[in-house]
Amino acid sequence: MKLAKTIGWAPRALVFLTLAVAGVVVWSSQGSSFAQDDKADAKQSAAAAKTEAEPAAAAGVEPDGAAESSVEGESANSASGATKWLVAICWLLSVAGSITALWFARKFYLWMMEQDEGNEQMVEIAQAVRDGADAYLKRQYKVVGIFFAAAWLVLMLLSWVADAQHPLVPWAFLTGGAFSGLAGWFGMKTATWASSRTTQGARNSLNEGLQIAFRSGAVMGFTVVGLGLLDICLWFGALWYLQDLIGFKMSLTEITVTMLCFGMGASAQALFARVGGGIFTKAADVGADLVGKVEAGIPEDDARNPATIADNVGDNVGDVAGMGADLYESYCGSILASAALGVAAFSGSVDNQLRALILPMMLAAAGIGLSIWGVYLVKTKEDTSQKNLLKALGKGINYSSLAVAGAALLLVMILLPGNIGLFVSVSVGLLAGWLIGWWTEYSTSDEYAPTQGIAKQAESGPATLIIAGISEGLYSVWVPIVVIAAAILLAFGFSTGGAFGDADKFALGLYGVALGAVGMLSTLGLTLATDAYGPIADNAGGNAQMAGLDPVVRERTDALDSLGNTTAATGKGFAIGSAALTALALMAAYVEEVRVGYERFGKAEVAEVADGEVVKLNKRAVAVKHNGKVETYLVMPKGRSVESQTLTEAVRSVDSGEPLMGVNILALAASGLLVNNETATIPDFVRLYDVTIMNPAVLVGMFMGVMLAFVFCAMTMKAVGRAADGMVQEVRRQFAEDPGILAGTSKPDYANCVSISTRAAQKEMMLPSLLGLTVPIAVGLVLGVGGVMGMLAGGLTSGFAVAIFMANAGGAWDNAKKYIEAGNLGGKGSEAHKAGVVGDTVGDPFKDTSGPSLNILIKLMSMVSVVFAGLIVKFAWDLF
């Protein structure tokens, strides 16, 4: 029970830490009356001052209906007292929400630890799996630690030497990675403790086994959401309430954009967890099956198979830690991106910016509370059937989703009463997640036509089965794409009141889309519980088999596993759907990063220039010092008017860094030819960089994004092949060197197989990961901002489709095999079954390695672009 203490200790430390922060906040709010009265404000007041010179623009950046709390002259430039208190309360509630999540995670964990561990052999087997998982995790975190140290160094250099980033970015990056790693560690620990207890529970009854597995899954779910929201709350609290204390004065834009960078830490951690875990689990699985099942003819999970422990470790490593890190990243990414977009959408009113910023955090907090309620809704009688349990589970998710929609209405009415359409955006996200989950189930469950059709093709052999699986998988992308497309249009349309073409409401529309992602993920605590519970049940089955328990136990754990497959389908729908919406929101957040990049660029370049002198930064921007304050202006592309032509000529004729003569900034800004960087809209930046489909740089960027998705997919799949090959060799070697193993007289060397999978996973994850990390930077340096956005769009659209294709084809093959094993089409041992096994093996890397890794890739590309935006702005090749 040593670990139990550790985990019990951790939330307490977090509570203490948070209370300390909250205390300082209350203290500082008393001392300075929440006043934000110097540098950060100066910038916002400059923006507001600009509105007088550009009345049209100012009218534009103010969304309709936000009028009652909008800027009204100088006095409104810092937040009003009411807003300050409201936001502070919301912030405290969010912190409370995150701590509640952690508290419940601890509660479920302690409950699980109290359950019976089973007989000695079961404990021993569980210990072996635990040791394997520990060994993997230690090694994994060492490798990842080295990567993080190197990346941290690069980011420090970028911040301090190249001055292309905020100095806090490297630290944000580190905490993102650390919290994500922590969540994975807790989740995997819990899962490995839970397996033998689940087996023991299943010895008593199906229901007891389910309760243990599901509650243990909930530990993972609530740890992820708790740590995610806590990290966000702490950063916001520190950067906003304690900025005097820590010495960094920042505007709300800078704060949200700096916080976004911790998403890249979570993203990198998730990448390694998903790719490494995916390779580990499938190398062990395929290796164990090929030699054990096919060559030696021993059953699955047989204790004589040296790779069987590695196979069980793999379930924890890939499906628990990998899935957790993946969704941790989506969860944080969606909240952070919507916060950044909220600030961009309501520029001009600090009040509304703050309210828009806190809304996603409050939604997440409300989601946590309602998810916990959902967990308690999942109540059944002791002697219930599996079907009833599934119903109960569905009831929990459906009720809490509906309640979240209600909470969203309430929160929007309180925080942004003029933008009630945002509530619809949140609901659209919830509905889209539910629809994609439902479709995934339809596409992969053997109760429906697609999977049954695939199974039927097994009668003509493996070839037709494979063709059927691939074509059904390709076909199945249509519903998720239509749902996501509709969700984007509806979330955008409702949040802007249907003003699709209005440049001034653009950020508001994208804020709506991001809130949709937050809505979709708000019940993550619950949906992730149903996801993480599957591998626990799977491991419990392995434990039962290896410990040689009564077959009825294995039957019960198989039933649990099968129920887990169904619920996992829903979870996968949420994972990929939210990844798509988050990636879209991150594309918009990227534009915000470009804005901050220009701000830094301008400040660095005109530091030593005389007041009033206009300096060219690059062909797209100039900067000027005005009364000691630096302002950066975007030079809009050449138009047809004479003025515009003259300006373009003037900019073209000097070198970067040189002063620009004869330019009347105010007149040019009034005519729209120069746009102040601070008040520029997303469409302004898009126009500045000509991020249009017909721009060759953008189109080539799109091609690069598509290539990245395909090649990344191929690399992870090839890695599984190579790693599995190594495992096959090892198992064959052990069988050959010690015939006692197969006879059951001597024990195989489990640890060596775990170590092979571990080493292979860590070796093989490097190349695809580096590809995902470096290509976005290379594309940015060569093709510029336009190329990056093209790449993000191409990677998002095609990666989304490939990920769904892979997940659904793989899931359908898996269930088609199970359908045959259940006695259909000849049952176990028939030719059809052999074909089904081929399909399942092909599907393994599809659904557990390559497909899920693409989820991460599409977010990682955006995150890397976000973090390196400042670099790209400054150093991109100036050709495009």
**Nearest distance from C-beta of residue 568 to its own copies, angstroms:** 22
Q: Is 113 in the site for its own copies (CB under 8 A)?
A: no
CB 748 within 8 A of CB 734: yes
**CA 281/CA 727 separation, integer angstroms:** 11
* Nearer of residues 8 and 639 to its own copies, judged by Cβ: 639
861 to each of 57, 232, 469, 790, 869, how far by Cα in Å? 33, 21, 29, 12, 12
Q: Is 618 in the site for its own copies (CB under 8 A)?
A: no
* Nearer of residues 683 and 826 to its own copies, judged by Cβ: 683
- Cα 178–chain centre separation: 15
- Looking at residues 550 to 569 of the shown chain, list those that interact with its own copies (rule: CB under 8 A): none
Phi/psi-derived region of residue 79, left when phi > 0, alpha when psi is between -120 and 50, beta in every other case: beta
* Nearer of residues 97 and 429 to its own copies, judged by Cβ: 429
The residues, any chain, with a CB within 8 Å of residue 734's CB and separated by 6 or more, are 306, 741, 748, 749, 752
Q: Is 468 in the site for its own copies (CB under 8 A)?
A: yes
| Total chain residues near its own copies (CB under 8 A) | 109
Q: Is 506 in the site for its own copies (CB under 8 A)?
A: yes
Q: In this structure, what token pair is assigned to residue 715?
A: 């690399």
Among residues 837, 858, 860, 873, the one that binds its own copies under rule CB under 8 A: 837
**Nearest distance from C-beta of residue 734 to its own copies, angstroms:** 18
**CA 328/CA 228 separation, integer angstroms:** 6
Q: In this structure, what token pair is assigned to residue 704?
A: 């690069």
* Nearer of residues 135 and 699 to its own copies, judged by Cβ: 699
Which among 147-155, 341-349, 467-475, 559-567 is the span making contact with its own copies, rule CB under 8 A? 467-475
* Nearer of residues 13 and 879 to its own copies, judged by Cβ: 879
Among residues 105, 706, 832, 867, the one that binds its own copies under rule CB under 8 A: 706
Among residues 118, 360, 535, 790, the one that binds its own copies under rule CB under 8 A: 790
* Nearer of residues 137 and 682 to its own copies, judged by Cβ: 682
The residues, any chain, with a CB within 8 Å of residue 650's CB and separated by 6 or more, are 660, 661, 662, 663
Question: Would you give the end-to-end CA distance of the chain in angstroms?
Answer: 61
**CA nearest to 361, candidates 105, 93, 79:** 93
Q: Is 634 in the site for its own copies (CB under 8 A)?
A: no
Which among 173-181, 548-556, 698-706, 741-749 is the span making contact with its own copies, rule CB under 8 A? 698-706
Place of tokens 């746009």: 675
- Cα 683–chain centre separation: 26
* Nearer of residues 324 and 597 to its own copies, judged by Cβ: 597
* Nearer of residues 392 and 707 to its own copies, judged by Cβ: 707
Q: Is 703 in the site for its own copies (CB under 8 A)?
A: yes
Q: Is 672 in the site for its own copies (CB under 8 A)?
A: yes
Among residues 11, 201, 292, 794, the one that binds its own copies under rule CB under 8 A: 794
Q: Is 290 in the site for its own copies (CB under 8 A)?
A: yes
Beta strands in 456-579 (DSSP E): none
**Nearest distance from C-beta of residue 631 to its own copies, angstroms:** 16
Among residues 700, 754, 866, 872, the one that binds its own copies under rule CB under 8 A: 700
Which among 369-377, 570-578, 627-635, 667-675 is the span making contact with its own copies, rule CB under 8 A? 667-675
Which among 130-138, 170-178, 403-411, 457-465 is the span making contact with its own copies, rule CB under 8 A? 457-465
Phi/psi-derived region of residue 479, left when phi > 0, alpha when psi is between -120 and 50, beta in every other case: alpha
Q: Is 452 in the site for its own copies (CB under 8 A)?
A: no
Among residues 457, 523, 762, 815, the one that binds its own copies under rule CB under 8 A: 457
* Beta carbons within 10 angstroms of residue 204's beta carbon: 12
373 to each of 272, 525, 527, how far by Cα in Å? 33, 11, 13
* Nearer of residues 606 and 837 to its own copies, judged by Cβ: 837
Q: Is 651 in the site for its own copies (CB under 8 A)?
A: no
CB 261 within 8 A of CB 386: no
**Nearest distance from C-beta of residue 802 to its own copies, angstroms:** 9
Buried b (16+ CB within 10 A) or exposed e, 348-376: bbbbbbbbbbbbbbbbbbbbbbbbbebbe
The residues pairing with 618 across neighbouring beta strands, listed in sequence order, are: 621
> x/- contact string, 328-367, with its own copies (CB under 8 A)?
----------------------------------------
**Nearest distance from C-beta of residue 262 to its own copies, angstroms:** 24
- Looking at residues 470 to 489 of the shown chain, list those that interact with its own copies (rule: CB under 8 A): 470-475, 477-478, 481-482, 484-485, 488-489
Q: Is 99 in the site for its own copies (CB under 8 A)?
A: no
Which among 312-320, 528-536, 642-650, 821-829 is the span making contact with its own copies, rule CB under 8 A? 642-650
**Nearest distance from C-beta of residue 704 to its own copies, angstroms:** 7
Phi/psi-derived region of residue 720, left when phi > 0, alpha when psi is between -120 and 50, beta in every other case: alpha
- Looking at residues 839 to 878 of the shown chain, list those that interact with its own copies (rule: CB under 8 A): 839, 841-842, 845
Longest dimension (CA), the chain: 92
Which among 148-156, 437-445, 711-719, 747-755 is the span making contact with its own copies, rule CB under 8 A? 711-719
Among residues 225, 675, 754, 872, the one that binds its own copies under rule CB under 8 A: 675
**Nearest distance from C-beta of residue 851 to its own copies, angstroms:** 12
Buried b (16+ CB within 10 A) or exposed e, 216-253: bbbbbbbbbbbbbbbbbbbbbbbbbbbbeeeebebbbb
The residues, any chain, with a CB within 8 Å of residue 144's CB and separated by 6 or more, are 177, 181, 268, 269, 272
CB 809 within 8 A of CB 843: yes
490 to each of 241, 361, 574, 669, how far by Cα in Å? 35, 22, 18, 34
